[in-house]
Amino acid sequence: MISDVVVIGAGPAGLSAAVAAAEAGASVVVIDENPRPGGKLLGQLHEEPGTGWWIGAEISKSLAKRAEEAGVRILSNRQVWNLSPKWEVALDNGESVCGEYAVVATGAAERPLPIPGWSLPGVMAIGAAQTLTNYYRVRPGDRVAVVGMDPLSLTVAHELSMAGADVVGIYLPSKSVFAGSQADPDRNLEYLAGMSDLAPNALLRWGGRLASNRALRNLALTFFPTSGIPLMGTKLNLRKSIVSIGGDERVQHVEIATIDKHGNPGKTRTVDVDCVCISGGLYPVQELTRDCELVRIDQLGGTVPLYSPEMETSQSNLFVAGNVTGIEGAKIAMAQGTLAGTAIASRLGRIQGKDAVDQAAEAVRSARKSSAITFMPDIDEGRRIAEDLWLQLEREKSMTQKDESYA
């Protein structure tokens, strides 16, 4: 099968890239391992300040409908095993799909965060709890403890309590080589500052304002109530960590330690729960971009490909969009996908002039400005590093080309 564009990943980024290219007249195939298009969008359900409810399942449905109406072929239940230049995509059923252009939009995955007892049935990654609750409408437990403080865990804790679960609290992980700074109350308070505009609780907003000042943050931590503060139907416990998870054949309880402001444990007690959701953070999925120039930028969530202002990687005609370039919210992923699809349509001669590409690039910037969720607190710095490295790569390439033409 040969088409103008092959898109890998039918999340918000991949679908948006497909829609932009196909609506301009390009032939497009989208491949995704899941039975339905939508990626992580399918499980998203949260209220955004000013714009109301974000219902990911409905947004994916309308994106997929728009794609199909524009003639996009969506191949579901197919995993991509390999991507080779010019661009041949090898599928798990032995078939292959070729495109003059390819877009890798494989999204992000969850970092595992091991805790003693985490292999018991009833313990799951926070994303699994989100999918069960919002997409399959199955409550993962009646009494739930959440481990890890980040936008995803806060959002899912709220979703679980809206679904009728008793969320006993959101806790830090205990100090370990895996938890790293996630077990540090100070780092978590600073992190919450990035979300302080969204904070529904006055004390959190206050904490957010203090968070840029280390001395005041120290004071806030000293006085942070050890009983936690109420947050969207549960309690945020910056001064408690989960030491272990226990039970005979499935989760029955967690051992919770009161911690000092450096994360060192004191007294422990046991709390009955039947479900534990662990959030260890997200990282961009890079298996298919391995031949591109890749760099590790922790501020973006891990290893990412370098790419041009139009989303093209160091490999000609290979574009990227969405969380594969760094961990951000769905609206930004959609805007990046639209930019990649528009840039490809322009390169194919389906769009005349540069206006549409410039507008799509501007839409990415404004999606970033208005984004309600910030997954990585230093994302702006991460983007700047990536942009500088791209410019450096371009300079090196043009110097090599000059040297070759002199030789």
Ligand X SMILES: Cc1cc2nc3c(=O)[nH]c(=O)nc-3n(C[C@H](O)[C@H](O)[C@H](O)COP(=O)(O)OP(=O)(O)OC[C@H]3O[C@@H](n4cnc5c(N)ncnc54)[C@H](O)[C@@H]3O)c2cc1C
Give the binding site for ligand X (CB under 6 A): 8-14, 31-34, 39-41, 44, 46, 79-80, 105-108, 110, 127, 130, 152, 155, 282, 285, 322-323, 329-330, 333, 373
Structure tokens at 172: 């830090």
As a whole number of angstroms, the longest Cα–Cα distance in the chain is: 74
Q: Give the span between the Cα atoms of 57 and 43, in whole angstroms.
A: 7
CB of 241 to ligand X, least distance (A): 22
Q: Give the span between the Cα atoms of 267 and 275, in whole angstroms.
A: 23
Q: Give the span between the Cα atoms of 193 and 379, in whole angstroms.
A: 14
Pair type for strands 96-104 and 88-91: antiparallel
CA atoms within 13 A on the CB side of 183: 22
Of 13 and 157, CB closest to ligand X: 13
Give the residue carrying structure tokens 């050890």: 226
CB of 114 to ligand X, least distance (A): 18
CB of 85 to ligand X, least distance (A): 17
CB of 159 to ligand X, least distance (A): 8
Of 126 and 220, CB closest to ligand X: 126
Please work out, in degrees rounded to the nearest 5, the angle formed at the alpha carbon of residue 71 by the alpha carbons of 69 and 75: 105
Of 101 and 283, CB closest to ligand X: 283
CB of 270 to ligand X, least distance (A): 29
CA-based nearest residue to 200, from 167, 230, 245: 230
Of 13 and 273, CB closest to ligand X: 13
CB of 165 to ligand X, least distance (A): 17
Three-state secondary-structure class, residue 118:
coil
Of 108 and 339, CB closest to ligand X: 108
Of 40 and 347, CB closest to ligand X: 40
Of 63 and 243, CB closest to ligand X: 63
CA distances from 118 to 39, 141, 165, 167, 252 (A): 26, 15, 20, 18, 12
Q: Give the span between the Cα atoms of 231 and 198, in whole angstroms.
A: 12
- Reported residue count of the chain is 407
CB of 187 to ligand X, least distance (A): 21
CA-based nearest residue to 293, from 321, 318, 327, 326: 318
Q: Give the span between the Cα atoms of 344 and 27, in whole angstroms.
A: 11
Of 241 and 325, CB closest to ligand X: 325
Of 41 and 238, CB closest to ligand X: 41
Q: Give the span between the Cα atoms of 395 and 390, in whole angstroms.
A: 9
CB of 74 to ligand X, least distance (A): 11
Please work out, in degrees rounded to the nearest 5, the angle formed at the alpha carbon of residue 255 by the alpha carbons of 137 and 264: 120
CB of 259 to ligand X, least distance (A): 27
DSSP 34: S
Q: Give the span between the Cα atoms of 17 and 341, in whole angstroms.
A: 4
- Asked if 262 and 184 count as a contact pair (C-beta separation under 8 A), the reply is yes
- Asked if 121 and 250 count as a contact pair (C-beta separation under 8 A), the reply is yes
Of 12 and 302, CB closest to ligand X: 12
- Asked if 189 and 176 count as a contact pair (C-beta separation under 8 A), the reply is no
CB of 338 to ligand X, least distance (A): 12
